[in-house]
Amino acid sequence: MENSKAKELQEKLFYKKKSAFEAMSENELDEVMEYAKGYSIYLDTAKTEREAVDYSVDMLKAYGFEPYVLGMPVYPGDRFYHVNRNKSLIAFVIGSEGVEDGFKILAAHVDSPRLDLKQHPIYEDGGFAYAKTHYYGGIRKYQWATVPLALHGVVVLKNGEEIKVNIGENEGDPVFCITDLLPHLAKDQNAKTLATAFSGEGLNVLVCASPFMEDGKVCDVDEKIKLNVLLELYRLYGITEEDFISAELCFVPSAKCMDIGFDRALIGAYGHDDRVCAYSELTAMIENLDGKNSIMCILADKEETGSDGATGMQCRLMVDIIDSVSKVLGADGAAVRARSKCLSADVAATFDPCYPEVFEKRNSAIASCGVALAKYTGSGGKYGTNDCHAEFIAEIREIFEKDNVLWQTAEMGKVDAGGGGTVAKYISRYNIDTVDVGVPVLSMHAPFEVISKYDLYSAHKAFCAFCKY
């Protein structure tokens, strides 16, 4: 009898994390698989911030969204999107009750770690031509060697014409790669630490291995292999070496996303961080267009390098749009912001049983236990974090519970193991209640990251509930 009393008390008093397999209905478990299909297409189509913005605009247009220009008139029910320099996007819908009660803001980012080409990238050495790169975001350099890479990006000509580049994704395309030492000769390299064994200047991508031929003979000029590269780029895109100066080209892993495991519960892909939240928030807004709430979806650029620049979240554009829209609707921008609420939609770290030493399991996100809410991110004693106030988290708990959202809390790792940040602090600084909520990821920032389809689905459901109430 005593035992059953204890059990009863435990049921009542203890918090118990549930997995999707315990919490979801059979019907919902099927929906999880269905929802992941659309996301897989998004992933394969949108590997850079520009591609993500283009694809997202197409999605929005299909639901009647129109381009927004600062200062233009808006009315309740209107659906708009504003593309910022082709690299970030703010879409919004004005709810039936206007903006007096604030916006429900969902903010993800669409840039991912990668290898950017330098402005004078092409050189040749030892019978090969290479592209010099400058890595973008927090990569572990060794992971990028011996991985097939694709070239993505744009070249903007002096006359303003924008040429889109994409090599290495389609059947029959060549790919590119960074070579690594053979183990037989890696004795000295093996003795170095992981952080020093690979250098940024060493991330040179192999792009060609044959010289330009003239009348069936090797031509009589210096840099014949480099010439061959430039000739091919000229043939394909009409560009010359000088045009690299006004280009944004990068190498990203060339593979398409793949289901992982016998049960297909996981998705492996490049760039889940943070397109997994971009897709789940966009689809959540699209499914909640005709409600009372005004909803704003942000797809930010530059998160991986600190959110600086005109397309990063530290740019005032979000505030300008809220203020402008408020003004034409007869509301005060500052008052609207004060009543706005934001889910900073970015990925969390999944507890990895192969590396338990860096995690504190009790406070880590566990795979397939739902979308993860992080009260704080940052590092070294909560530096550089939004650290959401308890009152707002309580509101979010209530909202998630209403719609039976499967969710959990997350902390990135052990207290002094490291850390990281999100765009949350660049939104809350404008007097907007903000908390981090996103999908847990394994191997974050690797060329092949892993998420659970159950967590993806839960994120979408969480964002839907946030838009709705």
Kindly list the residues in this chain that would bind Mn ion in the complex (CB under 5 A): 273-274, 346
Q: Kindly report the CA angle at 402 between 397 and 407, in degrees rounded to 5? A: 50
CA dist 196 → 132, 254, 358, 417 (Å): 19, 26, 21, 19
* Minimum distance of Mn ion from residue 75's CB (angstroms): 34
Rounded Cα–Cα distance for residues 40 and 258 (Å): 8
Which of residues 433 and 449 has its CB atom nearest to Mn ion in the complex? 449
For 405, the 3-state DSSP assignment is: coil
For 371, the 3-state DSSP assignment is: strand
CA dist 72 → 210, 223, 324 (Å): 55, 54, 8
Which of residues 124 and 274 has its CB atom nearest to Mn ion in the complex? 274
* Minimum distance of Mn ion from residue 438's CB (angstroms): 8
* Minimum distance of Mn ion from residue 412's CB (angstroms): 11
Nearest position to Mn ion, beta carbon: 274
Which of residues 208 and 349 has its CB atom nearest to Mn ion in the complex? 349
Spatial CA neighbour of 463 closest among 109, 106, 110: 106
Q: 119 φ, ψ to 5°?
A: -85, -20
Rounded Cα–Cα distance for residues 334 and 173 (Å): 51
Which of residues 113 and 153 has its CB atom nearest to Mn ion in the complex? 113
* Minimum distance of Mn ion from residue 371's CB (angstroms): 14
Region label for 443, one of left (φ > 0), alpha (ψ between -120 and 50) or beta (otherwise): left
Which of residues 49 and 274 has its CB atom nearest to Mn ion in the complex? 274
Q: Which residue has the tokens 């004005």?
A: 94
Rounded Cα–Cα distance for residues 305 and 386 (Å): 18
* Minimum distance of Mn ion from residue 9's CB (angstroms): 40
* Minimum distance of Mn ion from residue 201's CB (angstroms): 23
Which of residues 74 and 315 has its CB atom nearest to Mn ion in the complex? 315
